[in-house]
Structures are given as structure tokens and as C-alpha cells.
Amino acid sequence: MAEPERAVRPPTVARERRPATPEEAKAMGHPLRIRILRLCLEEDLTNKELADRLDVTPGTVLYHVRRLVDVGFLVPGTPRTGPSGALEKPYRATGVTWWLDGDPDAPVSHAPVQAFRRELDEAGLASVRTFSRFVLHLSDEDISELDRRIVAVLDEFVATDDRRRENPVYSGMFLLHRPARTDDGPGRRDRPDRA
């Protein structure tokens, strides 16, 4: 039986970054929603297809899909006839979330990290193409500058991704965190003093 037709993805349009609304931030606050968005960015998927890929019930997916549709992160795709002849109603991600900045004063959501860890666990370590691990001493201003520069490079790649659709897809995450134990004083070592 022939594979159902998949909708052609519209070209990525560069947008200006803007702060997420409280409703948008809440919608991005669940790891399953982030995973749904990532899956629907590559191809239009139905609730059943999402449930199968995410190993959750279709009702759970429907609940989260509705939240994402309500804020404009998902839109209905082109209805299609499925393998059994039934009409399928897929969803597609709009890509809006990439262009949203979080509230710097809001608590950090663990949802993106949880979603990324789950995706990496599912793909396996053999899927890792490149990584860089580092330790830096940074002021708040340094962190802002580092983030601005990295996001600017990623913005450029996201805005032109439609030109590379024939290439394999990769997923990634830039994350900067404080180690569990640090000394903040100038010139001090990152280990406790010994008596």
C-alpha cells in the first residue's frame, strides 16, 4: 500500500524575535508539547501518528495538541486519506516558537531539557554528530553576549533551513548552567579549601 502523501513544508520565513506571551510560555512548559512541536516541524502528523511515536495515548496527545493549536504553535495540515481509507487530519508546527524569547525573570522551565534528553535517549548516543563541552567564568554581561551571539548564528541557520531540506535533520540544544559547587570569589579555585 502506498505511503500517505505528506504536505510540502512552506519555506521558513525569518522573523523578528519577541517575548513569549504568558499563554505561549505556558504552552511550551511541558516536555511532551515540545516533542510534538519538533515532530510536526518535519512532517504533518495526526494525533494517532504522534501517539504512536511518543508512546502515549491518543487522548493525551489530543489534549496537548489542542493547547498548541490554541496559541498558534500548531496548525491543521492538509487533510489526507490514510491507509485504511479514512480521512486523516494532520497538524504542522508553525516554527513560531524558535522566534520567542522567554521572560528573563521567570523561573527556568525544565521542559526543553526533559524533551531533549528523551529525544537523545531514543536516538541513542550513535546519533550524536558533534558536541563541545566547556567551563567558562562569565559575568552576567558575558552570558548575555554569549547567548546573543550563539542565538544569532542559530537564527541565521533556522531562517535558511528550507534551502537544506534535502539534507539529514539534526536536533540540538545550547545550555549553560552553574555547576553544583562553585566559588564566586575572584581568583578562587572551584574546589573547597582544605584544612
CATH number of the domain that 90 lies in?
Answer: 1.10.10.10
* pTM of structure: 0.78
Q: Is there a domain that residue 88 lies in?
A: yes
pLDDT mean across residues, the chain: 86
Q: Is there a domain that residue 175 lies in?
A: no
pLDDT in tens, 106-117: 666 789 999 999
In whole angstroms, what is the distance from residue 95 CA to residue 145 CA?
24
In whole angstroms, what is the distance from residue 34 CA to residue 9 CA?
19
Q: Is there a domain that residue 118 lies in?
A: yes
Q: Is there a domain that residue 8 lies in?
A: no
Q: What is the pLDDT of residue 107?
A: 66
Q: Which of 191, 194, 150, 9 is nearest to 91 (CA)?
A: 9
In whole angstroms, what is the distance from residue 116 CA to residue 31 CA?
8
pLDDT more than 90, % of the chain? 68
* Arithmetic mean of pLDDT, 159-178: 91
Q: Is there a domain that residue 40 lies in?
A: yes
- Indicate whether 193 pLDDT > 50: no
pLDDT in tens, 25-39: 999 999 999 999 999
The tally of domains found in the chain comes to: 1
- Indicate whether 95 pLDDT > 60: yes
Q: Is there a domain that residue 4 lies in?
A: no
Q: Is there a domain that residue 74 lies in?
A: yes
Which residue segment(s) compose the domain that 33 sits in? 18-164
Q: Residue holding cell 533551513?
A: 161
Q: Is there a domain that residue 176 lies in?
A: no
Q: What is the pLDDT of residue 150?
A: 95
Of residues 105 and 83, more confidence is placed in 83
